[in-house]
Amino acid sequence: MAQYKLVKCTINGKETETMVDVRASLTDMLRNDYRLTSVKKGCEVGECGACNVIIDGECFNSCIYLAIWAEGKKIQTLESLLGPGGELADIQQAFIDEAAVQCGFCTPGFIMTAVQLLETRKEYTREELRKHLAGNLCRCTGYENILNAVEKTMLRRLGKL
């Protein structure tokens, strides 16, 4: 017998609620109930970060996060970055400029990790950036361009580039 629960949370700044199957992952809820398809289903076992979203300021793999745990939480997905006229955020533009996107499947996950990192307003070394991005896998780019995009955006925001 399916078991359902009402889950109220804030998604990309909007207060929302929906009935979810208790067996659903947060990825399932974000994609199926809210059509937030930037949240990708990669491995679905917490290895690749394609489903990465920010919950209350911290990054989580939504594929191994139960939808019911989202109750009362503030969730941010890549869709929140888009400006009112469809403008890209600086970090998104940097991914394009640095050719950090090939197939693009890993990109939303990487960008959300970067968003959280950039919000700390700290300057990280290349090594530290690698450590912070270690939970996101990319099978196309070889990572260098992704690191460049994140590093340049960080330096720009700090007024150092």
Partner 1 sequence: MYDIKELFEATSVQNAVELRLAHPQALILAGGSDILIQMREGRLAGRELLSIYGLDELRGVTLEEDGTIRIGSLTSFTHVTQDPIVQKYINVLGQAVDMIGGPQIRNIGTIGGNTCNGVTSADSASTLFAWDAMIELTGNEGTRRVPISEFYIKAGVVDVRSDELQTAILIPKESYEGYQGHYIKYAMRNAMDIATSGCSVNVKLSEDKKTIEDVRIAYGVQGPTPLRAVVAEGLGRKKEISLDLIKQISEAVIEDIKPRDSWRASKALRQHIAVEMAHRCLIEAIKLSGGEV
Taking CB under 8 A as the rule, does residue 15 contact partner 1?
no
Write the interaction track for partner 1 spanning residues 73-112; mark x where CB under 8 A is met and - where it is not. Answer: ----------------------------------------
Rounded to an integer, what distance in angstroms lies between the CA atom of residue 152 and that of residue 161?
7
Among 119, 143, 124, which residue's Cα sits nearest to residue 54? Answer: 119
CB of 60 to ligand FES, least distance (A): 9
Structure-token pair, residue 101: 């996107």
- The alpha carbon torsion through 45, 38, 10, 137 (nearest 10 deg) reads 40
- What three-state secondary structure class fits 36? coil
Q: Which is nearer to partner 1, 18 or 82 (CB)?
A: 18
Residue 106 interacts, among ligand FES, partner 1, none and using kind-specific CB cut-offs from 5 to 8 Å, with ligand FES
Residue ranges binding partner 1 (CB under 8 A)? 3, 21-25, 28, 44-47, 49, 52, 58-61, 64-66, 68-69, 71, 113, 131-132, 134-136
